[in-house]
């Protein structure tokens, strides 16, 4: 039996890890997803810059800080989401392809394998930051943004990059399908992002007890930033070391144990319990009688627990998101999950060879598509119901500003989510990386119609109802096009020429 070594001199270890870095860089240079991720990162920054400058009434020195804040929030959110997702499959993919034992046939140790993977994906994340850097310089040209603001922004972005990288490596060593490891990485990254944000605010408030503040605004000058920066560095470095150590121990312990059909350990706990089996019982007979394709969305324990996991996440995060629902609404969080499930639906069946079997059954193409669409709707209905309850509670218990009730980003519009499902299902037949398809589905199926309707309404002076009607028309048009292309892909078997990246 091959046992990976745990001892190595530092110089020899760096040399061996360097050879792994070269191998990974050559492999990543041939993948178009890296190019398109950088294009997407820069494109989102350009879109936010254009939307903000065209709709705001601020001028001069007031525009610079406000624009800089919005761009920094977008960039940090992108790093917290993209970096863990693009790192989460680096070890688990080696397991599925059977190349992880080959790595340990070489003199590489577990620590050196993780170090090489970390270096490569840190470079990929850094290129995303470089792609957005030219847009981040523009607020400095507009004025009102100083070196201290840039220092604070970098201190906020480094944890997103470093901890997102550590989260991806930690979740990847457990193995599983690409969707399983990406879901685990995203959930853990969101938890760490919340801990980092609340911890940063707590340290900042404590610092204000000892340093001056002027007119209710923090004074970002002098050595008063020192304790805050030191606390951020200690937290980031400590969490990174702990996660990497846990990943190293776990990989050393179970690097050779992998079964592609095995369920995750946390799902086996629920599956073996009679109580939880009664709680999460799925009525298989009626589901198979109505539409067996919808049953494929919920037949596994992982899918059922994920369904109620999204409901619990919205239920717990809703009160915090509802404090500022226009900036970060619960509907926006739900749309990320809908897009990921949609682009992975038919892709999973095609990878397992199940979709070809479905095509030889008497089920027509329309029933295949409608069954999957109904399965997605049932999967996210509990979480959507929680979002509707929060929306009604905020509207009834507060005095919203004019137009708040009709806010496109906050309104739990079922048409927008249905359009996102159809658009994502069509993209699941395309040949590209699942991460890129997920981001493109969310941006094109959910964000773009809302932004276009808002921009047209602002330029033409429409009311809130006019903006909502325009958004609905755009969503209906996109849904119809996606529906026709999706049916054509199933009937013409065009997906057989597209091999999953």
pLDDT digits (tens, 9 = 90+) for 61-85: 677 788 888 888 888 888 888 888 8
Amino acid 477: pLDDT: 92
User: Encoding tokens for residue 215?
Assistant: 């007119």
Rounded percentage of the chain residues whose pLDDT exceeds 70:
74
Strand partners, 362: none
In 10 A of CB 339, how many CB atoms? Answer: 27
Region 18-36: what's the mean pLDDT? 75
Rounded CA separation 434/429 (Å): 11
Strand partners, 370: none
Tell whether the model's pLDDT for residue 323 goes beyond 70: no
Q: Check residues 98 and 341 and name the one with the higher pLDDT.
A: 341
Nearest to 157, CA basis, from 235, 225, 73, 68: 73
CB 178 within 8 A of CB 89: yes
**Which residue shows structure tokens 């900042």?**
204
Tell whether the model's pLDDT for residue 141 goes beyond 80: no
Region 358-387: what's the mean pLDDT? 84
404 exposed, middle or buried (CB, 10 Å; 0-12, 13-18, 19+)? Answer: middle
* Contacts of range 273-281, beta carbons closer than 8 Å, 24 or more positions apart: 280/304, 280/305, 280/308
Report the first-to-last Cα separation within the chain, whole angstroms. 32
Rounded CA separation 326/141 (Å): 28
Q: Check residues 484 and 12 and name the one with the higher pLDDT.
A: 484
Rounded CA separation 424/419 (Å): 8
Q: Check residues 337 and 261 and name the one with the higher pLDDT.
A: 337
Q: Check residues 373 and 230 and name the one with the higher pLDDT.
A: 373
Q: Check residues 490 and 211 and name the one with the higher pLDDT.
A: 490
DSSP-assigned letter for residue 390? H
Nearest to 226, CA basis, from 162, 160, 155: 155
User: Encoding tokens for residue 209?
Assistant: 């007890």
pTM score, whole prediction: 0.70
Region 255-275: what's the mean pLDDT? 60
Amino acid 478: pLDDT: 92
Q: What is the pLDDT of residues 177-192, one digit of tens each?
A: 777 788 788 888 888 8
Amino acid 461: pLDDT: 78
Provide the pLDDT confidence category of residue 232 given band limits of 50, 70 and 90. Answer: confident
Q: 350 in a domain, yes or no?
A: no
Beta strands (DSSP E) in 40-111 are none
Q: 104 in a domain, yes or no?
A: yes
Nearest to 84, CA basis, from 118, 54, 115: 118
**43-52, 103-112, 399-408: the lowest-pLDDT one:** 399-408
Q: What is the pLDDT of residues 401-426, one digit of tens each?
A: 444 444 555 677 888 889 999 999 88
Q: 221 in a domain, yes or no?
A: yes
Rounded CA separation 344/342 (Å): 5
Q: 426 in a domain, yes or no?
A: no
Tell whether the model's pLDDT for residue 149 goes beyond 60: yes
How many domains does one find in the chain? Answer: 1
Rounded to 5 degrees, what angle do the CA atoms 311, 317, 321 make? Answer: 125
User: Encoding tokens for residue 499?
Assistant: 């091999």
Region 38-48: what's the mean pLDDT? 77
Q: What is the pLDDT of residues 188-206, one digit of tens each?
A: 888 888 888 877 777 766 6
Tell whether the model's pLDDT for residue 156 goes beyond 70: yes
Region 471-482: what's the mean pLDDT? 90
In 10 A of CB 29, how many CB atoms? Answer: 9
**Which structural domain, as residue segments, surrounds residue 173?**
8-261
Nearest to 439, CA basis, from 456, 452, 420, 454: 420
Q: 139 in a domain, yes or no?
A: yes
Q: 362 in a domain, yes or no?
A: no
CB 425 within 8 A of CB 482: yes
Three-class DSSP category at 260: coil
Q: 166 in a domain, yes or no?
A: yes
Query: CB neighbours of 199 closer than 8 A, spacing ≥ 6?
Result: 231, 235
Q: Check residues 334 and 325 and name the one with the higher pLDDT.
A: 334
Tell whether the model's pLDDT for residue 480 goes beyond 90: yes
Provide the pLDDT confidence category of residue 364 given band limits of 50, 70 and 90. Answer: confident
Mean pLDDT is highest, among 1-5, 249-253, 373-377, for: 373-377
**23-27, 223-227, 356-360, 486-490: the lowest-pLDDT one:** 223-227
CB 168 within 8 A of CB 88: yes
**91-95, 272-276, 429-433: the lowest-pLDDT one:** 272-276
Provide the pLDDT confidence category of residue 447 given band limits of 50, 70 and 90. Answer: confident
Per-residue b or e along 444-481, where b marks 16 or more CB atoms closer than 10 Å to that residue's CB: bbbbebbbebbbebeeeebebeebbebbbebbeebbee
Q: 475 in a domain, yes or no?
A: no
Nearest to 303, CA basis, from 357, 258, 267, 262: 267
Amino acid 423: pLDDT: 92
Amino acid 115: pLDDT: 82
Q: What is the pLDDT of residues 285-308, one digit of tens each?
A: 666 666 677 777 766 666 777 777
Amino acid 481: pLDDT: 92
Tell whether the model's pLDDT for residue 216 goes beyond 50: no
SS3 content of the chain, % helix, strand, coil (to 5): 80, 0, 20
Rounded to 5 degrees, what angle do the CA atoms 427, 30, 32 make? Answer: 30
Rounded CA separation 346/338 (Å): 14
Q: Quote the mean pLDDT of the chain.
A: 75
- For residue 414, CA distances in Å to 326, 365, 380, 417, 419 come to 18, 24, 11, 5, 9
Amino acid 173: pLDDT: 85
Helix or strand run (H / E) with residue 213: strand 213-214
Query: CB neighbours of 168 closer than 8 A, spacing ≥ 6?
Result: 83, 84, 85, 86, 87, 88, 90, 121, 185, 189
Region 165-174: what's the mean pLDDT? 87
């Amino acid at each position: 039996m091959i046992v990976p070594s745990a001892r190595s001199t530092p110089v020899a270890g760096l040399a061996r890890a360097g050879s792994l870095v070269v191998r990974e860089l050559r492999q990543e240079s041939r993948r178009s997803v890296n190019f398109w991720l950088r294009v997407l990162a820069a494109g989102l920054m350009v879109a936010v810059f254009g939307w903000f400058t065209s709709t705001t009434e601020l001028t001069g020195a007031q525009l610079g800080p406000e624009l800089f804040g919005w761009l920094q929030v977008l960039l940090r959110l992108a790093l917290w989401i993209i970096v863990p997702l693009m790192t989460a499959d680096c070890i688990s993919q080696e397991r599925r392809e059977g190349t992880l034992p080959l790595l340990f046939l070489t003199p590489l140790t577990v620590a050196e394998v993780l170090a090489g993977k970390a270096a490569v994906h840190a470079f990929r994340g850094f290129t995303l930051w470089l792609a957005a850097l030219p847009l981040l310089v523009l607020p400095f040209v507009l004025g009102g943004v100083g070196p201290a603001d840039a220092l604070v922004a970098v201190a906020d972005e480094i944890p997103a990059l470093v901890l997102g990288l550590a989260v991806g490596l930690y979740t990847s060593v457990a193995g599983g399908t690409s969707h399983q490891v990406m879901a685990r990485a995203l959930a853990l990254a969101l938890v760490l992002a919340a801990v980092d944000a609340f911890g940063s605010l707590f340290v900042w408030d404590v610092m204000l007890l000892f340093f001056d503040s002027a007119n209710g605004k923090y004074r970002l000058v002098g050595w008063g930033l020192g304790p805050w920066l030191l606390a951020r560095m200690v937290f980031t470095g400590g969490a990174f070391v702990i996660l990497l150590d846990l990943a190293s121990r776990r990989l050393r312990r179970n690097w050779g144990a992998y079964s592609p059909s095995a369920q995750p350990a946390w799902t086996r706990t629920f599956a073996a319990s009679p109580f939880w089996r009664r709680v999460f019982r799925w009525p298989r007979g009626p589901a198979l009688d109505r539409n067996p394709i919808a049953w494929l969305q919920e037949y596994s324990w992982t899918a059922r627990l994920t369904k109620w996991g999204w409901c619990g996440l919205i239920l717990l995060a809703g009160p915090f998101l509802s404090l500022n629902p226009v900036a970060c609404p619960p509907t926006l969080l739900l749309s990320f999950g809908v897009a990921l499930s949609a682009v992975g639906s038919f892709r999973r069946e095609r990878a397992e060879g199940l979709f070809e079997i479905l095509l030889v059954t008497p089920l027509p193409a329309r029933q295949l598509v409608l069954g999957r669409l109904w399965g997605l709707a049932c999967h996210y209905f509990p979480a959507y119901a929680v979002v509707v309850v929060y929306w009604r509670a905020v509207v009834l218990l507060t005095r919203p500003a004019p137009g708040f009730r009709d806010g496109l980003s906050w309104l739990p519009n079922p048409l927008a989510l249905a359009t996102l499902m159809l658009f994502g299902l069509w993209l699941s037949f395309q040949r590209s990386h699942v991460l890129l398809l997920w981001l493109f589905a969310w941006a094109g199926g959910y964000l773009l119609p809302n932004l276009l309707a808002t921009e047209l309404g602002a330029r033409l002076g429409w009311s809130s109802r006019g903006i909502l009607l325009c958004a609905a028309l755009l969503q209906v048009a996109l849904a119809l096009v996606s529906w026709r292309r999706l049916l054509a892909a199933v009937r013409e078997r065009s997906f057989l020429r597209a091999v999953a990246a």
